Structure 1
Amino acid sequence: MKPSLAKGTRDFTAEEVIKRKYIISVLEKNFRLFGFQPLETPSFENLSTLTGKYGEEGDRLIFKILNSGDYASKTNSDDWTSKNSQKLTSQISEKALRYDLTVPFARFVAMNHGQLTFPFKRYQIQPVWRADRPQKGRFREFYQCDADVVGSESLLQEVELVQLYLKSFLDLKIPVKLNINNRKILSGLAEYAGIPDQLIDFTVALDKLDKIGRDDVVKELESKNISSDSIKKLEFLFKPQTDQLQLLFNLKEKFATIPIGLEGVEELEFVLTHCINLGISHENLIFNITLARGLEYYTGAIFEVKADSVEIGSIGGGGRYNNLTEIFGVKNIPGIGISFGLDRIYLVMEELNLFPENSIENTKYLFVNYGTEESIQALRIINKLHKNNISAELYPENTKLKKQFSYAEKKVIENMVFLGEEEMKNETITVKNQKTGEQKTFAQEDFLNQNK
């Protein structure tokens, strides 16, 4: 059988792993700077925990896990031929792989709220799984890097998360645009258009505007039985928005009798004003009225980050979700969070050549294998180097020097170390720099002192 990978998954080479860990180290440093603490949750959750939290489209992308044992024995045989797959799924699957980190976090908070100190700030870096169609920058298994705050309704949390986003991408040297909107503004727009009961249909379609364009968004709205009169009222959304302040002013006029819309505008004004006062440029932080983030649990601010000059979709996103823990029976725990897309960030940094040269640490010394006696002495010296945190290794086999040199070359090892019969007799060691070709002999004691 020819080995193959499941679609939407990848192996990572040593170089890729090191580069990914570099990104994670930058993000973790910033998470801690802003007062967030680490958390990890299981790879899979009860299916009931995940379903109904991501909208109809999201529910279809959840990877279900078959029950162990003879999962078919307790099912109704008629359901296997029925077109109602949901009825069958509930009988054969009780668990599912994590779709994101936010819902498991909400479940954790609901289970442990009595022991937590609020506001509770956590960051989480773990893989998630989605049964999506694989394409550039979109995988079925990928990492999310989340930072969330629960237990506070203060809009200063939105301001802080904007700072966290922009500082992190500045440290990674990725030029970005941070788009911001407010779910209450979208609710106001739905009321203004006379479709308050179709808010989800409206936002899911609107969120695709930059991907499929105005005409296809209109077609999708029409397919959801949204009238032409309602679509006409929303026509201004499909035109380029250049003046953010003028747009906010226009929204206040449209929302004169729509309280939830006005509340969204006021919240957005608060965040934008304070961010600008902190020195954040409106070129980096942009009010994008068509940003919808099609997840049902958002209730206030919503964010999306895109890299400049790279066509890859969003590399971060998030928002406020004041009602999420209520579905687990725990009320009055508001929350807000953001996510960094590790895999897409990696692709952006590769395309823009942003990884620092020293992010890949290769072995410093390779000791040539001349035989058992020489190798034992080499291992003694290697052991002392390791105690000094110097990377070194012994070639495992006594073979031709050409093969050992080839190994060092392919692994980009900086120095070859020779400890043969002559060196052992004189208690010396010979080191050859692979880049310059310079070769020097040292007393073993001097060599170790230089590598402390």
Structure 2
Amino acid sequence: MKPSIPKGTRDFSPVEVTNRNYIINTIKKAFEIFGFQPIETPSFENSSTLMGKYGEEGDRLIFKILNSGDYLKKAESKLLSEKNSTKLISQISEKALKYDLTVPFARYVVQHQNEITFPFKRYQIQPVWRADRPQKGRFREFFQCDADVVGSTSLWQEVTFVQLYDTVFSDLQLNNTTIKINNRKILSGIAEVIGAKNKLIDFTVALDKLDKIGKEGVVKEMLSKGITEEAINKVAPLFDFSGTNSEKLLSLKNMLASSNEGLKGVEELQFVVNTIQEIGLKSANLEVDVTLARGLNYYTGAIFEVSAPKEVSMGSIGGGGRYDDLTGIFGLKDVSGVGISFGLDRIYLVLEELGLFKSVDLPKPKVLFLNFDDSASLTIMKTIKMLRENGVKSEFYPDLAESNKQQKKQWKYVSNRAIEFVVSKLENSRFTLKNMSTGEQFECTSDELLLQLK
């Protein structure tokens, strides 16, 4: 049977790994310029750490890990016979692959709170796993690149994250990205004003789909969730919400006049928008989007989402928000946090589609020693040791060429890997060095060889 890999996972070629490293290094550089520190957490966590933190749909997408050994031994016979997987899972699986980096980070903060200096600014670049249906830009194993600050309620943090997004995407030459921003308090205020406060999640989840299913689809979904036609009519202006950020905020202020929470959200959003307008962005656009409702299970303030340039058909390439009580789920109260994430895999696809990857220079030796004479091998290896100790990338072709065909194979290896220099011969302690780009040949000692290559 032909070998294969699971759906939603990928192998990466040397070129792809080099391109991915280019994105990661660009993001990492920006993280550190903005003062974030790196941490890492395990690839899997205790199920109790993850379950119940992402809503019912998120819980279904968490990859569960079966207990070691005979995992059915402790399972109740009744549950086995009933095939009740929901109740059975807690008896046969105590651990799970991490679904994102945010919840494990919250666990990390609580567990290490006495070692951390607050505000704590961390970044994390690691793979996560989701039992999702694979499609373009959506995988079951993918990397997240996160930056978070915990221990500060200041809105200057939100301003910083808008600047961070702008810096990274500008450095990647990915101009004209749109950083969408909303506030959970505004969504709560709208639900309150239209008399659907107890339907906040249903209301916002439907509103979030406006760009996918249109006004009629949203209205139909809201009605199916028990939101009245009268309430929907009150919120109708949101379906065609347009204008500048200032005009949108003014409309929201009027719409939410009777909601203190809603007005607080408008005030917070106004600060971020006005400040960014004063400071300026390199290439991104900041846009108020009241339909944005991601992560409502833990976001409490600002909500971010980044869209790729319009010429590329791709979902969000980044997102995040403020979570004032996330660490509270692990027993640490009153620690405010805000963070963003970069979608590495989607960013890769966007850069590829727009032709924005630079010419890839794969790792390779600067000089290759051909293997045409077995008696010279030990001297060559000693010379290579000396070159490597002096920072010259060097390689010895491992298989001895005993025929013209095998010699041609070695020269083909040089050509395929675009190696700059080749040592083809060693006679009387002198090496024959060839510059492959100019065709020039030199006879030199090992010391002269080092000078030429350095």
1:299 is aligned to 300
Identify if the C-alpha distance between structure 1 residues 80 and 377 changes in structure 2 by more than 3 Å, giving closer, same or farther: same
Q: Is 240-249 or 40-49 further displaced after alignment? A: 240-249
2:336 is aligned to 334
The one-character-per-residue Cα deviations of 1:214-255 (angstroms, maximum 9, x if unpaired) are 333333323322222222222222215232212211111111
Do structure 1's residue 427 and structure 2's residue 430 form an aligned pair? yes
Do structure 1's residue 36 and structure 2's residue 6 form an aligned pair? no
Coordinate RMSD, CA, aligned: 1.8
Measure, in 1, the Cα distance between the counterparts of 2:452 and 2:76.
75
Do structure 1's residue 385 and structure 2's residue 387 form an aligned pair? yes
Measure, in 1, the Cα distance between the counterparts of 2:59 and 2:210.
22
Measure, in 2, the Cα distance between the counterparts of 1:240 and 1:336.
27
Measure, in 2, the Cα distance between the counterparts of 1:336 and 1:83.
41
List aligned pairs for 1:204-219, cutoff 5 A: 204-219=205-220
| Contact 2:15/2:360, CA 8 A, preserved across alignment | no
Identify if the C-alpha distance between structure 1 residues 383 and 39 changes in structure 2 by more than 3 Å, giving closer, same or farther: same
| Contact 1:66/1:92, CA 8 A, preserved across alignment | yes
Do structure 1's residue 99 and structure 2's residue 99 form an aligned pair? yes
Measure, in 2, the Cα distance between the counterparts of 1:283 and 1:35.
21
Do structure 1's residue 59 and structure 2's residue 55 form an aligned pair? no
Q: Secondary structure at the match of 2:45?
A: strand
Q: Secondary structure at the match of 1:315?
A: strand
Q: Secondary structure at the match of 2:62?
A: coil
Measure, in 2, the Cα distance between the counterparts of 1:334 and 1:115.
18
- One-letter amino acid matched to 1:406: K
Structure 2 gap segments, 5+ residues each: none
Do structure 1's residue 166 and structure 2's residue 166 form an aligned pair? yes
List aligned pairs for 1:101-116, cutoff 5 A: 101-116=101-116
Q: Secondary structure at the match of 2:333?
A: coil
Measure, in 2, the Cα distance between the counterparts of 1:346 and 1:243.
31
Do structure 1's residue 280 and structure 2's residue 286 form an aligned pair? no
Measure, in 1, the Cα distance between the counterparts of 2:96 and 2:8.
17
1:88 is aligned to 88
- One-letter amino acid matched to 2:357: F
TM-score by length of 2: 0.94
Structure 1 gap segments, 5+ residues each: none
Measure, in 2, the Cα distance between the counterparts of 1:293 and 1:387.
52
| Contact 1:429/1:447, CA 8 A, preserved across alignment | no
- One-letter amino acid matched to 1:414: E
Measure, in 2, the Cα distance between the counterparts of 1:301 and 1:357.
38
* Cα displacement (A) at 1:98: 0.3
Measure, in 2, the Cα distance between the counterparts of 1:359 and 1:171.
19
1:343 is aligned to 345
Measure, in 2, the Cα distance between the counterparts of 1:215 and 1:365.
66
Q: Secondary structure at the match of 1:7?
A: coil
Q: Is 74-83 or 269-278 further displaced after alignment? A: 74-83
Identify if the C-alpha distance between structure 1 residues 409 and 283 changes in structure 2 by more than 3 Å, giving closer, same or farther: closer
- One-letter amino acid matched to 1:396: P
2:416 is aligned to 410
Q: Secondary structure at the match of 1:59?
A: helix
2:180 is aligned to 179
Measure, in 2, the Cα distance between the counterparts of 1:123 and 1:24.
12
1:228 is aligned to 229
Q: Is 237-246 or 299-308 further displaced after alignment? A: 237-246
Measure, in 2, the Cα distance between the counterparts of 1:204 and 1:82.
33
* Cα displacement (A) at 1:104: 0.3
| Contact 1:180/1:303, CA 8 A, preserved across alignment | yes
| Contact 1:395/1:404, CA 8 A, preserved across alignment | yes
| Contact 2:178/2:306, CA 8 A, preserved across alignment | yes
Q: Secondary structure at the match of 1:186?
A: helix
Measure, in 2, the Cα distance between the counterparts of 1:137 and 1:253.
39
| Contact 1:22/1:359, CA 8 A, preserved across alignment | no
Measure, in 1, the Cα distance between the counterparts of 2:326 and 2:443.
66
| Contact 2:167/2:282, CA 8 A, preserved across alignment | no
Identify if the C-alpha distance between structure 1 residues 8 and 177 changes in structure 2 by more than 3 Å, giving closer, same or farther: same
Identify if the C-alpha distance between structure 1 residues 180 and 332 changes in structure 2 by more than 3 Å, giving closer, same or farther: same
- One-letter amino acid matched to 1:123: Y
Identify if the C-alpha distance between structure 1 residues 441 and 271 changes in structure 2 by more than 3 Å, giving closer, same or farther: same
- One-letter amino acid matched to 1:306: S
* Cα displacement (A) at 1:177: 1.1
| Contact 1:204/1:294, CA 8 A, preserved across alignment | no
| Contact 1:203/1:294, CA 8 A, preserved across alignment | no
| Contact 2:19/2:360, CA 8 A, preserved across alignment | no
Q: Secondary structure at the match of 2:113?
A: helix
Q: Is 117-126 or 369-378 further displaced after alignment? A: 369-378
List aligned pairs for 1:295-374, cutoff 5 A: 295-308=296-309, 309-357=311-359, 360-374=362-376
Q: Is 371-380 or 63-72 further displaced after alignment? A: 371-380
* Cα displacement (A) at 1:291: 1.0
Q: Between the two proteins, what is the percent identity of the paired residues?
A: 56
Measure, in 1, the Cα distance between the counterparts of 2:219 and 2:414.
60
Do structure 1's residue 201 and structure 2's residue 202 form an aligned pair? yes
- One-letter amino acid matched to 1:402: K
Measure, in 1, the Cα distance between the counterparts of 2:220 and 2:413.
60
The one-character-per-residue Cα deviations of 1:122-174 (angstroms, maximum 9, x if unpaired) are 00000000011111111000000100000000000001111111111111111
| Contact 1:55/1:294, CA 8 A, preserved across alignment | no
Measure, in 1, the Cα distance between the counterparts of 2:256 and 2:71.
53
- One-letter amino acid matched to 2:351: M
| Contact 2:170/2:282, CA 8 A, preserved across alignment | no
Tell me the matched-pair count.
447
Q: Secondary structure at the match of 1:197?
A: helix
| Contact 1:276/1:282, CA 8 A, preserved across alignment | no
Q: Is 442-451 or 344-353 further displaced after alignment? A: 442-451
Q: Secondary structure at the match of 1:114?
A: coil
| Contact 1:206/1:290, CA 8 A, preserved across alignment | yes
| Contact 1:207/1:294, CA 8 A, preserved across alignment | no
Q: Secondary structure at the match of 1:106?
A: helix
| Contact 2:166/2:282, CA 8 A, preserved across alignment | no
